[in-house]
Amino acid sequence: MVSSTFFAPATSANLAAGFDILGMALSKIGDKVTAYKTNKSNIEIISIKGDQGQLPLDPTQNTASVAVAALLKYVGYSGGIGLEIEKKMPLCSGLGSSAASAAAAVAAVNHLLQLELTAKELVPFAMQGEAVASGSAHADNVAPSLMGGIVLIRSYHPLDVIQLSVPENLYYSIVHPNLSINTKEAREQVPQNIPVKHATQQMGNIATFVAGLYSNNLNLISNGLEDWIAEPARAKSIPGFSLVKQAALDAGALGAGLSGSGPSMFAFSDALSTAEDCACQMSDIFNNQNITSNLYFGKVNTRGAFLVTEKPDTEDLISGDLA
């Protein structure tokens, strides 16, 4: 049977000031999706592994199949597609789990049907998966998952996605406490109106962060890592949020904050050893509250979704990156 398997990485969205407009790709964790043609005329979720039975098999409710449906509609393909999803990352974690499934699924179908769309061109379809998962078709997880690196969404109407420069010595730490946050509910916490002075501060922070990325100036990146919109409203959902953030700063982080809608928290550092230390110190604060956590740290992943050709262990897979 002809099939295509893609791995799409987990992501951390917002990066402090960039609510819904900034996201980065992480390494090693993510989702694997295999797509193949069937002799039916619909999209089926054949299996989901690694979700402990939590995700819907109903193709109208699953982020991967909804994204694929949008892609097939666009290209006018009416044949059947089967999808096998393998979760290799935690769910409801603030690490773009729904996005990774959608991204891997559209990338796999793109390859299977030889559509030859680029990673960037697949973003609008993967976004449709987010709409079913969180009630909002935001792109700050699917875009970096497909394209890799750090991505800016300048505009949603029309969609304008810009891949940003990533300094060589920029490292992330992610701590995922063993808590679950529903993105849809977390989005309802974000204020719909903000004072102009907060908007001004936020714009300054985003511009400073982007200036830092392009000038390899980590001080600018540090100064830009401050959120005046979503984080103040959401922080109360994370036990010991301020202490975790302070622990990262004390360990030498450039800045820290919520990863996406949480509960994961992220930090940026200028060295791998600092990133590891930050992750450990942040995790200790959760431990002190009897909350276990998973730690991840590394270089920003500039690769994005890729074709899986051989072994099932993602670290060993090389080849077939999207254009």
**Which positions touch ligand HSE (CB under 6 A)?**
13-14, 19-20, 94, 96, 138, 140-141, 183, 186-187, 230, 260-261
Nearest to 181 by CA among 241, 121, 122, 222: 241
- How far CA 276 is from CA of 76, 238, 267, in Å, comes to 47, 21, 10
CB of 311 to ligand HSE, least distance (A): 30
Q: Which entry of 11, 34, 63, 183 is annotated as an active-site residue?
A: 183
Signed CA dihedral, 188, 194, 198, 204: sign only: positive
CB of 230 to ligand HSE, least distance (A): 6
CB of 40 to ligand HSE, least distance (A): 33
Radius of gyration of the chain (CA): 19
130 is catalytic: yes
Tokens 């909350």 belong to which residue? 291
- Phi, psi at 265, each rounded to 5°: -125, 150
Cα distance between residue 139 and residue 255, in whole Å: 23
Cα distance between residue 303 and residue 306, in whole Å: 8
The answer to whether 258 and 94 are in contact (CB under 8 A) is yes
Cα pseudo-dihedral 254, 260, 262, 268, rounded to 10: -10
Cβ-proximal residue to ligand HSE, closest one = 260
- Name the residue nearer to ligand HSE (CB basis): 92 or 218: 92
183 is catalytic: yes
- How far CA 140 is from CA of 134, 182, 237, in Å, comes to 13, 17, 21
CB of 118 to ligand HSE, least distance (A): 23
Cα distance between residue 27 and residue 4, in whole Å: 21
Q: Which entry of 84, 86, 130, 231 is annotated as an active-site residue?
A: 130
CB of 130 to ligand HSE, least distance (A): 8
- Name the residue nearer to ligand HSE (CB basis): 91 or 272: 91
Active-site residue set? 130, 183
